[in-house]
Structure formats: structure tokens, C-alpha cells
Structure 1
Amino acid sequence: MGLTKAVQARALRLIQALITATERRGHTSKIGATRGAPRPHRRRSAPPHFTITAQGQECGFLVRQEQDRSDHTPTEKELAEAKKYSWIRIPQFDYTPAGRLRIILSGGQPHRASEWADTADRTLEDQLAEIVQEVDLRGEAAERKRLADLEAAQQKRLRWEAAMQQARIAYAESYRVKHLEAQAEAWRDATSLSEYLSAIRLQTEKLPAGQTKDDAETWTRWADAHLQRLNPVNTPPRLPKIPEPRPEDLKPFLHGWSPYGPSY
């Protein structure tokens, strides 16, 4: 943890008090993944020493030992090396571990504070209730957010389901329109072929009896039968059967929604 012996016992008592108080409120705790103390200038961003989980929100705790700063008096060796090497920088201050501690809380939505430290007026022991309350508040905020996210997801799914229903209706209507247009196109083709066959019959009637006329009449009889099958007005009109749409078929009617689900 990077603590000197002088403050270790007190730090552990503070940690034990926090864990006991929060576990009484239904929270859980576990030791952090710290393996050895990081260098002093990196301790603020080090992995948490332990975590407390309140209503699904994990709160990480770091216990740091404060440092007292004093002006640095250069040694003769430092002065000689600085004179010899231009890249040498003599430190401006010296830092000495103090008897004061600081608790840093991370994770979740901060409410009142994220750090508590020994001061001349208040020790950390006097601030433990505030730290426990902050854990409670962050847990409650996490639970509210979880419920709000669930509600938002449910509302989003309902909107998506409504959009899918409307897309299926629009798809069916579009399919009927295309079917109608295809029938109209077939009718125009049949009308054009009918005119053509009428002209062929006139020509066939003028032919002299013989094989050529027989072949022409055979051809026109086949063409007439084909025309009867081709012309849509020769069968009673009815609504077409709508095929089951594929996801890609619904995309043009979803107005930005994905056919695969509300989260895509």
C-alpha cells in the first residue's frame, strides 16, 4: 500500500471500519488487485486497495499517506554533477512521509466528495460516516440509473415494435401496388399482342390454301392461347398473397430503425 509502519495499523483500522459499516448496510467488499506499492507520484492513479460494491456500483478505495514538503538543500555531489552535466536537474523540494492519511474514492457518480483527509480540525475517523454515506449515495444513483436504463430500453423496444408493425403494413401495401402495376403492364403487353395477332389473322386469311397457310393458322392458334393466359383480365382479380418479408425488405419502411432489433 505504500504506507510507512507508523501509519499502517491505523490505516487498516480505518479500512476495517469502512468495510464493517458498509457490509451492515448490505454492501459487499473485496480486496484490490494491487501488487506492491507504485512510485509516490503514481499512487493517486494506482489500482484500488479494496472495493465496496453498493447496489451493483463498485467503488474503489485508495489509502494514501500524505507527504510533507520542504525546500531541498543541494548536496555537494548534486552541485558537481549539475555543473558537469547539463541534463542534471536538482530537485526543488524534499518530500517526507507524514502521519496524515487521505482516502480517495473512485467509481460511480460523485455526490458530496471523492477525497477525505486528516486535517487540523478533523481526523479521518470523524469523517467515516460521510464516506459511508457517499458509498450509499453512489449505490442509490447507480440503481436509479439501472432502472432508468431498463425503462428507456423497454420504451425503445416498444417504439421499435410499433415501427416494425407499421413497416410490415407499408411493405404489404407496396407489394400490392407493385403487383397491380405488374398486372397493368401485362395488360398493356396483352393489348399490344392482341392488335398484332389481329393483323396476322388478316394476312393469314389472304393466303392461298396450302402448307404455308396451315402453318400460319397453327402459329396464330398457339399465339391466341398464349394471349389468353397472358392477359390478366381473363382471370378474376383478387388480392395477392403477401410473402413473409425478409429483414432487408423492411428497411425502406423503418425510417432509420434496424430490422434486427432496437439496439442495432
Structure 2
Amino acid sequence: MTLTTVGQHFLDHGSYPPDKSRTTGTAPVQKAATQPTAASVRQKAGNQVVTTTPPQPSSPNSGPRQGKKTVTEQLLEELAEAGGRIVKREASGRETEKWPVRVVAARRSGKIPKTKELHGGWCRDGYEIRLVDTPAWRLATLTPIPVPARLVQPHPVVKALQGLSRPMGLTKSVRNRAFRLIHALLTATQKAGHTAAIGKPNTAPPSHRRRSGPPHFTITAQGQTCELRVLQEQDRVEHVPTQKELADAQKHSWVRIPRHDYSSADRLRICVSGGLPHRAGKWADTAARPLEDQLAEIAQEVGLRGQAAEHKRLADLEEAHQKRLRWEAAKRQATREYAETYRVRHLEAQHAAWRRAAGLVEYVGALRLHAEGLPPGPAREEAEAWIAWAESHVQRLNPLNGSPLLPEIPEPRTEDLQPFIHGWSPYGPTY
């Protein structure tokens, strides 16, 4: 699909260019016979002749518009005023749908600084547009990786590949070049401190699953293992059915004639998977850039994925550390709340014992009055014995008969902290 001039004008100005072939629907005004036909009027001033140009009426549709900013310029100014982020929430859905196309056009306009990147995407509130700084790695100047003309001392992984019968499913026409590319890439990444290992190079998955097949070799950078596959491109041509295919298709309904024929090409493709992608996930031979010129980007991509993995590892460690600190603080707070709850319960138990003792004292007094009215004898003696024990019991039950002390808090069990830890697990921050 090619962007036409009319389409580019619409993206830049928000309207289509004026059509010169259109007519306004009114007849042209003919010049009066008394008006001069020349563009200028000659007047005599003494002995001199002065040529003046009569003023022309201005028309809003005549001539180019001066000073009007394009949609891209307006967008960049709006982003600068908003701090680099805006969200388009036009009432008309059709108006909002124009912004993805305008963002693409703005990227192609060449008006975005090289140190900035324009991103756009849908969000809950509308279409979000952001102008962010270009990552330093994208602006870095990469040193080309030299590819040897022939292998004298191949890398151990390459040497292992050379010993296989049909490594990586490549034909002989591209196999030697693939070895040299892999050797150059592994040598450069080894100098950067990365390690390499052989994968399953003798496998050749179907064409529709080539990128998801097992890796031919791996490169590990800062603990992040990247899986690499070297694939041979295929040329596709329209299939010309044979007489037998036509006859079989006419005879049997299940016969399907292929639409295209595929043949192995001399172009290669390198796919990288594993880790966080930065530049891309695949690099292929093109007419303008062979893979030899792209090895530096592949090596940088492996290093960037390793750096991202290390950054994530450190971030995860820091997050786990902070989480443990928050859990420990929550556990200490839970222990304090547990102790406070224990004291409250102890106080309430003492209050209940005091009220019970007060009630029993009144009852024991009533018993004594009753016993005093009994005649001397065994019944009165048993009543007095019972009253003596009751008074002793009430004496022990009343907390005010002793010295009030702060209760000793027992060491809480793990499950005792569950009601007080507020969403955390008492067994640890990871449970």
C-alpha cells in the first residue's frame, strides 16, 4: 500500500487539498470595457511615466496558506506542552480513529527529533500518545563484527555443528556461510563475557513452525539464556497443476492442489528467543543489508536481554527484600496488637471476677444471717463450715485482695498472630 499525495496532505493538514477542476457554480465575471487589460496602469507624473499595479482582492482560497501548522507540528507542540503524554478523547469515534494513522504519518514525517520516539496505543480513556526519550542503546554506534572468509579455528559450537550430517536442516549452498556467521557471532559474544552451548542442530521443523522449533545453539548473557535458530529462507512460486493432479482432483473430492511451490533459497534468517526483546526477534538477509552487516545488532540484542534479565533479577531481589521488611513490620505490629488484646482480655476477666466476687460476698453474708438463726447442733455446724469455705473462696476470687500487676504476655504461636497481621500470612512473606 502506497500513501498518495492527497492522503499525505490530509494527514498533515486535516483536510483534502483544493480541487482546481471544481467550479464554484457561478458564471465568471467579465471585465468591463473601460477597465485596463494589463496587469499594470501607466500614469504620467510630469515628464516621467510611473507604472503602478492595482491592488488585487484577496481570496481565502487563493494561493498557499501561510503560517498554518501541519497536524504533526500541532501534535508535537501539544505533547511538549503536556509533558510528553496526551490522551485523545474526542466525542466522535471516527475522529479518535484517525489518530493511529496520524501517529504513523508523524513518524514518517522526519520532524520527530532523533533523540525522541513517538508511541501511540489505545487505553481505557481513549487513544494515548507519548513522546519519550530514545533509549541510549538505540543511539549507540555499533562496531561491525568481522566475518572470516574461511574457518581455520572454528568456535567449539561451530566445530560440533560441522560434525553433524545435516546441521540445522540447511542445504550445502548456505551451510558454510552459516558456519562463518555463527562463528563470528559467538566469538564476539564470548569476548563480551557470554557463554555458548549447542542445542538441537540436527532438527528441521516444518516451515510453518520454524520459529518455534528447538534452538540450534544458545548464548547465555548474565544468566539469561537466548535460544538462536539459523533458518534457510524459501522462495515461493505459483504452482502449475499437472495433468495427474487435475485428474485426481476431478476424480476425488478430498484431493487439494497446492497453490504454491517452495524451494530453498540462498538467504538466511537468524531468530532469537528468550528474555525481553529490544530491537527485534529475527534478522534476515535483504538486498540492502546481508546478515554480515546485522551481526552487531544481534550481539547487542543478546547483551541487552542479559542486562534486562540482570536488572529484573536485582529488582526482584529488592522487591523481595522490601516485601520481607514490610512483613516483618506487620508481624511486629501483630505481636503488639496480640499483647494488647491479651491485656484487655485479662482486664475483662479480672473485672468479671471482681463482679462475681462482689455478688458472692453478698450471698455469703445472707448465708451467715441464715446460719445465725439456726439452733445449735449439727446443722448449724455444717452451715458454718460451708460459710467458712465460701468466704475463703471469695477471698481468693476477688482480684482486689492481691496486688494488681501487669500480666505477663505469653509467647504467641504462629496461628495466634493470624487475626492481627492484616492480610499477610503469619508464616512468611511468600505464603
- Report the TM-score when normalising by structure 1: 0.96
Number of aligned residue pairs: 264
User: Which residues of 2 match residues 1-264 of structure 1 at below 5 A?
Assistant: 1-33=168-200, 36-264=203-431
* 1:35 shift after superposition: 5.2
Letter in 2 for 1:219: W
Residue 38 of structure 2 is matched in structure 1 by: none
Deviations along 1:236-263, one digit per CA (max 9) or x if unpaired, are 1111110111121112221111111112
Higher helix share: 1
CA distance in 2, matches of 1:259, 1:34: 50
Deviations along 1:148-170, one digit per CA (max 9) or x if unpaired, are 11111111111111111111111
CA distance in 2, matches of 1:59, 1:110: 10
CA distance in 1, matches of 2:288, 2:201: 32
CA distance in 1, matches of 2:185, 2:213: 20
After TM superposition, the structure 1 stretch with the greater mean CA deviation from structure 2, 137-146 or 116-125, is 137-146
Question: What are structure 1's unaligned runs of at least 5 residues?
Answer: none
* 1:26 shift after superposition: 0.4
| Poorly superposed stretches of 4+, deviation over 4 Å | none
Deviations along 1:130-152, one digit per CA (max 9) or x if unpaired, are 11111111111111111111111
Which is higher, the Rg of structure 1 or of structure 2? Answer: 2
- Asked if the contact 2:169–2:202 (Cα under 8 Å) also holds between the matched residues in 1, the reply is no
Deviations along 1:148-193, one digit per CA (max 9) or x if unpaired, are 1111111111111111111111111111001000111111111111
- Asked if the contact 2:236–2:261 (Cα under 8 Å) also holds between the matched residues in 1, the reply is yes
CA distance in 2, matches of 1:60, 1:114: 11
Letter in 2 for 1:237: P
- Asked if the contact 2:195–2:221 (Cα under 8 Å) also holds between the matched residues in 1, the reply is yes
* 1:36 shift after superposition: 2.6
Question: What are structure 2's unaligned runs of at least 5 residues?
Answer: 1-167
Deviations along 1:68-115, one digit per CA (max 9) or x if unpaired, are 000011122222222232222211111111000000011111111111
* 1:27 shift after superposition: 0.4
CA distance in 1, matches of 2:286, 2:415: 66
CA distance in 2, matches of 1:146, 1:154: 12
- Asked if the contact 2:417–2:426 (Cα under 8 Å) also holds between the matched residues in 1, the reply is yes
CA distance in 2, matches of 1:229, 1:239: 18
Relative contact order higher in (CA < 8 Å, ≥ 6 apart): 1
